[in-house]
Structure 1
Amino acid sequence: MSFLDKIRACNTWNPRDFRPFLLDGERIGSLRPGAVEQFRRWPAQFQVATDAVYWSGAPADFAGRTAVLAEVVQCLAEEGVVSHLHGEPYPVTAGHREQARCLIDRAAAPFFGMRAFGQHLNGFVRTPRGIEMWIGRRSASRRLYPRCLDHLVAGGLPNGLTLSENLRKECAEEAGMSAELADRAVAVGAVTYCRDSERGLKPDVMYCYDLELPEDFAPRCTDGEVETFYRLPVEEVRDLVRDTGEFKLNCNLVIIDFLIRHGLLAQSDPEYLTILRGLRADLP
Structure 2
Amino acid sequence: MACYRFPATIVAPRASRHRIRAQKPSISHPKRLFSAASSARFGWDDVLRVGEGNQEDDDPSDLRGYFEKVWACNRGSQEKQSEFVPFLVEDQIVGYIHKGFIEHLRKFQDVFTVVSGKNGCGIGDCVSLHSSLKKPDDRTRAVGHVIKCIGKLIPGIRNELYPVTSSFGMPIFFSLERAAAPYFGIKAYGVHMNGYVERDGQQFLWLGKRSNMKPTFPGMLDHLVAGGLPHGITCKENLMKECEEEAGIPRSISNNCCKSAQ
Taking structure 2 as the reference length, what is the TM-score of the superposition?
Answer: 0.67
Mapped partners of 1:72, 1:97: distance in 2: 26
Offset at 1:28? 1.4
Contact 1:58–1:65 (Cα < 8 Å) also in 2:
no
Matches within 5 A, 1:266-277: none
Matched, 1:72 2:146: yes
Instruction: Give SS of 2:182's match.
Output: helix
Are the equivalent residues in 1 in contact too, given 2:165–2:172 (CA < 8 A)? yes
Q: Which runs of 5+ in 2 are unaligned?
A: 1-27, 29-64, 117-124
Q: Does 1:54 align with 2:128?
A: yes
Instruction: Report the equivalent of 2:173.
Output: 101
Offset from partner CA, 1:21-51 (integer Å, 9 cap, x none): 1112111111111111112101233222231
Cα 1:32–1:155 change in 2 (3 A) is same
User: Hey, what does 1:6 align to over in structure 2?
Assistant: 69
Q: 1:142 aligns with which of 194, 209, 214?
A: 214
1:29 aligns with 2:95: yes
State the partner residue of 1:17: 83
Q: CA deviation at 1:104?
A: 0.9
Q: Residue 126 in 1 paired to residue 198 in 2?
A: yes
Q: How far 1:176 sits from its partner (Å)? A: 0.8
How far apart, CA to CA, are the structure 1 residues paired with 2:72 and 2:258? 27
SS at match of 1:104: strand
Going from structure 1 to structure 2, the CA distance change for 1:185 and 1:12 (only over 3 Å counts) comes to farther
Q: Which has the higher contact order (CA 8 A, sep 6+)?
A: 1
1:158–1:125 distance in 2 versus 1, CA, 3 Å: same
Write out per-residue CA displacement over residues 114-139 of structure 1, whole angstroms, 9 at most, x where no aligned residue: 11110000111122241111101111
With normalisation by structure 1, the TM-score equals: 0.62
2:157 matched residue in structure 1: 85
Contact 1:91 1:97 in 2 (8 A): no
Alignment root-mean-square deviation, CA = 2.0
Report deviation, 1:188. 7.4
- Report the alpha carbon displacement of residue 57 of structure 1 after superposing the two structures with TM: 3.1
Cα distance in 2 between the residues matched to 1:111 and 1:172: 30
Where does the alignment leave 5 or more consecutive residues of structure 1 unmatched?
Answer: 190-206, 208-284
User: Once the two structures are superposed, what CA deviation does each residue of 1:37-76 show, in whole Å capped at 9, x if it has no partner?
Assistant: 1121012332222311122335111110110110011111
* Higher Rg of the two aligned structures: 2
Offset at 1:98? 4.6
Deviation per residue, 1:245-277 (Å, 9 max, x gap): xxxxxxxxxxxxxxxxxxxxxxxxxxxxxxxxx
